[in-house]
Chain A
Amino acid sequence: MTTFTGALRSSLGKKYLMGFTGLVWVGFAIGHLIGNFLLFAGREAFNGYAYFLEHLGHGMLIYVAEAFLALTILIHVANGINVAVLDKSAARPVGYQVKGNARGRTQKGLASQTMIWTGLTILGFLVLHLVTFKFAYLWEQVPDYKFEGTNIMTRDLYSVVVRRFSEGWYVGLYTAVMLLFGMHLKHGVWSAFQSLGLLNKKTTAPMISLAWVVSIVLSLGFLFLPVTVFVMNESFASPAGGLHL
């Protein structure tokens, strides 16, 4: 008798895990993007949001959330490598000499065939992203910030972000990776729903269109920030921060 945990090891189980963990991270990315837009509101708002997240549930909730995100991405990456590298060559040891794409209702394309490469690039970027922002205080001087009208002190994460986004190479890299991130989502988002068995004949096509929208919004949304901070650096670097036109 197959149990649920046994089923997770089957070829279909890999899809359930891949789809679920992918959607967890899409959800996180949406929340992250909304949070990021507080950069436009200024130093007080952005640092206040970071302070709020760090102190949710007596400062415990963020660790729970981080552990959950770490676990899900670990499953996502391990599964992805397993499917795209190991299982793929095992199931077709001798490949085709001529490769072609069928016309019509296929979703096979650049995005679907490069999931492993866009995925690994995003993973590498994620590590860099954590080192340069979240763990910046471990290796570089991060100024303190005192909230207006209070005695509460916190790290000035806002200044870390604005300083980093004033560097052209970092903004360029960030933009390139966000475009690859969009490509990953273009196939990933609808695919997650299909993998979880949530689509049918009527909903497949609208979901593919929705995945396009999500990938464009997230990709452009994330790269809009660093580009704006880079171009309007004077406004963002002012004591109050934020965007003043």
Chain B
Amino acid sequence: MSKEETVAKKQGSRYTVRVWRQAGKDKPGQLVDYQVDGIIPNMSFLEMLDVLNEQLTKEGKEAIAFDSDCREGICGMCSLVIDGVAHGPHSGCTTCAVRMRDFPSGSTITIEPFRAKAFPVIKDLVVDRSALDKIIAAGGYVSVNAGAAPDANSILVGKESADRAMDAAACIGCGACVAACPNASASLFTSAKITQLASLPQGQPERKKRVKAMVEEMDRLGFGDCSNHGECEAVCPKEIGINHIAQMRRDYLMATLAP
């Protein structure tokens, strides 16, 4: 153990971490308790898991599988439901940006994977979120000629529309909305992807076709019904509002009433 590590171990806190362990897809799983030492308050939640994994590796046990990539809150790769809340107790941030100072020293932390029929567990805390990609593939793009670079300056977009589009475009597709929804609905994700394009001139030619295709794909993939709990908005690391869901409902109604 290096000097630095010894100091960290002395200063750091100890936590009991209850982690969902599952060997593979469709295998049985269970919560397993681990003790982790030497956690300093400024460590991120994923760094705490890294420390735990190093500890497990040294003990000859299998490391816990979890998703991560950028670790700066912008890629949408990390997930985890921490003590029953997707992306943990800190609002407006992803799991990787949650710091251990949010958890009292010595406390027990339960970590479960995102749960939904459309998000099957692959291993431990890793789930397959490709269903979200399928919703985008159903129509979350502009396939007509939207002009070349100079047209960006000639097609004017109002401030309110630009802001709405930008708010929706902030979605990083992490799937926390689905995980947090008591019904496992993907309404917030789908609506963000729809209104992002519906708010801009480039999205207009395919607007009706898009909303129908994406909503129907969302249903087909086995996501649940929205009950307006608004929990999705509260856990969304990008704080995307349920006003986008209302917009999606308007658009879908109009698309089916006046195709």
Within 8 A of A (CB), among B179-213: 180, 182-185, 187, 212
Interface pair B112/A15, CB less than 8 Å apart: no
B59 nearest CB across to chain A (Å): 25
The residues of A with any CB-CB pair to B shorter than 8 Å are 1-4, 6-7, 10-12, 14-16, 83-84, 87-88, 90-108, 112-113, 115, 187, 190-191, 194-201, 204
Within 8 A of A (CB), among B71-130: 81, 83-86, 89, 91-92, 110, 112, 115-118
- Complex alpha-carbon distance, A96 and B228, angstroms: 20
- Complex alpha-carbon distance, A84 and B86, angstroms: 21
Contact partners of B92 in chain A: CB under 8 A = 104
Given contacts A92-B183, A98-B83, A107-B230, contact A201 B243 (CB under 8 A): yes
Interface pair A12/B215, CB less than 8 Å apart: yes
Tell me the nearest residue of chain B to A107, going by C-beta: B230
Given contacts A96-B84, A104-B234, A106-B230, contact A11 B246 (CB under 8 A): no
- Complex alpha-carbon distance, A200 and B160, angstroms: 12
Tell me, yes or no, whether B45 is within 8 Å of chain A by CB: no
Contact partners of A190 in chain B: CB under 8 A = 228
Total interface residues on B, CB under 8 Å, equals 56
Interface pair B228/A11, CB less than 8 Å apart: no
- Complex alpha-carbon distance, A200 and B86, angstroms: 25
Which segment, of B2-10, B50-58, B137-145, B219-227, faces chain A? Answer: B219-227
Interface pair B230/A196, CB less than 8 Å apart: no
Given contacts A1-B259, A112-B227, contact A100 B117 (CB under 8 A): no
Interface pair A107/B246, CB less than 8 Å apart: no
Contact partners of B37 in chain A: CB under 8 A = none
Interface pair A12/B249, CB less than 8 Å apart: yes
Interface pair A11/B89, CB less than 8 Å apart: no
Tell me the nearest residue of chain A to B243, going by C-beta: A201
Interface pair A92/B229, CB less than 8 Å apart: no
Tell me the nearest residue of chain A to B89, going by C-beta: A103
Interface pair A195/B110, CB less than 8 Å apart: no
- Complex alpha-carbon distance, A112 and B180, angstroms: 14
Given contacts A4-B256, A15-B225, A112-B227, contact A201 B83 (CB under 8 A): no
Contact partners of B219 in chain A: CB under 8 A = 10-11
- Complex alpha-carbon distance, A102 and B89, angstroms: 7
The residues of B with any CB-CB pair to A shorter than 8 Å are 31, 81, 83-86, 89, 91-92, 110, 112, 115-118, 180, 182-185, 187, 212, 215-216, 218-219, 222-231, 233-235, 239, 241-243, 245-253, 255-257, 259
Interface pair B252/A187, CB less than 8 Å apart: no
Interface pair A2/B85, CB less than 8 Å apart: no
Interface pair A113/B229, CB less than 8 Å apart: yes
Contact partners of A3 in chain B: CB under 8 A = 256
Contact partners of B226 in chain A: CB under 8 A = 11, 15
A115 nearest CB across to chain B (Å): 7
Given contacts A92-B115, A106-B231, contact A7 B83 (CB under 8 A): no
Smallest CB-CB A-B distances: 3 pairs? A100-B84, A91-B224, A197-B249
What are 5 A-B residue pairs whose CB atoms fall within 8 Å in the complex?
A96-B81, A103-B91, A187-B228, A197-B248, A200-B246
- Complex alpha-carbon distance, A203 and B54, angstroms: 50
Contact partners of B245 in chain A: CB under 8 A = 194
B42 nearest CB across to chain A (Å): 21
Tell me the nearest residue of chain B to A80, going by C-beta: B227
Given contacts A15-B249, A92-B116, A102-B231, contact A2 B183 (CB under 8 A): no
- Complex alpha-carbon distance, A101 and B89, angstroms: 9
Interface pair A12/B248, CB less than 8 Å apart: yes
Interface pair A199/B117, CB less than 8 Å apart: no
Interface pair B231/A101, CB less than 8 Å apart: yes
Interface pair B212/A103, CB less than 8 Å apart: no
Q: Which of A4, A12, A101, A115 has the most CB of B within 10 A?
A: A12
Interface pair A83/B85, CB less than 8 Å apart: no
Contact partners of A92 in chain B: CB under 8 A = 115-117, 183-184, 224
